[in-house]
Amino acid sequence: MKPVNIAIDGPSGVGKSTIAKSLAARLGFTYIDTGAMFRTLAVYFLRKDVDSGDEAAVCALLPECDVDIRYEDGQQHMYLNGEDVTGLIRTEEVSKVASVTSQYGEVRRKLLYMQQDMARRQDVIMDGRDIGTVVLPDAQLKLFVTARPEVRARRRYLQLKEQGRLGDATLEDILKDMEERDYRDSHRENAPLMEAEDAVLLDNSDISEAEAEDRILELLRERKLI
């Protein structure tokens, strides 16, 4: 039987990863956070002190980067050249570099085969920006999750504050950065953020994560995928 592939796309800070991770645990699927893969590369670019806006310089480093995903106690861990960098990839600095460098075609191609190969071998829930349009165009269920920018910024602000990683960033700073990231993601030349024609739109501005999850489970049952 063909593995079930669920593609979840949407802008940053919308809660895609939280929903996808929870669903995967409930369904026994493998959760693949593609954003973590780009962030892992970003860690290397930062360590090499390369200008993230210099596409040629960034791409020249790609042969030196070995990215691997391992699952330990049911959790996805990201490895960079054999080092577990899972705890290093969620900073704002890494996020900004990943947002810029993930626009580059060579960067995306480096990770595309790995993402598609994992989906061919097992039931997966994969989230990102171009999963339904590029990575898994034949996914049995595609979702485009969105929320109003101010709602997303507030959620991100509270998350960073709770994790002790807010620093001196204000809510206004986070909203501005999020809007700039949205523009880059939706206007990039390679695999821009966009809703697949056959995707189901899910606006979670005014619903809880549990309610969003229940709606997705309902869709899966309707399509007899679970």
- 226, part of any domain: no
Q: What pLDDT was estimated at residue 109?
A: 94
pTM assigned to the model: 0.86
Distance of alpha carbon 220 from alpha carbon 10, whole angstroms: 19
pLDDT digits (tens, 9 = 90+) for 67-111: 999 988 878 899 999 999 999 998 889 988 998 999 999 999 999
- 27, part of any domain: yes
Query: What tokens does 191 get?
Result: 């695999």
User: What is the extent of the structural domain holding 169?
Assistant: 5-220
- 172, part of any domain: yes
Distance of alpha carbon 89 from alpha carbon 161, whole angstroms: 17
Distance of alpha carbon 131 from alpha carbon 145, whole angstroms: 12
* Tally of domains within the chain: 1
pLDDT digits (tens, 9 = 90+) for 3-38: 999 999 999 889 998 999 999 999 999 999 999 999
Direct distance between the N- and C-terminal alpha carbons of the chain, in angstroms, rounded to an integer: 13
Distance of alpha carbon 160 from alpha carbon 166, whole angstroms: 5
Query: What tokens does 82 get?
Result: 């054999």
What sign results for the dihedral spanned by CA atoms 218, 137, 177, 60? positive
Q: What pLDDT was estimated at residue 147?
A: 96
> Residue 93 maps to which CATH number?
3.40.50.300
- 105, part of any domain: yes
Phi, psi for residue 127 in degrees, rounded to 5: -120, 155
| pLDDT(133) > 90 | yes
Distance of alpha carbon 44 from alpha carbon 211, whole angstroms: 38
- 225, part of any domain: no
Output the CA–CA distances (angstroms, integers) from residue 57 to 30, 52, 82, 105, 192, in the order listed. 34, 8, 23, 13, 22
pLDDT digits (tens, 9 = 90+) for 151-194: 999 999 998 899 888 889 999 999 999 999 899 889 888 888 89
Longest dimension (CA), the chain: 51
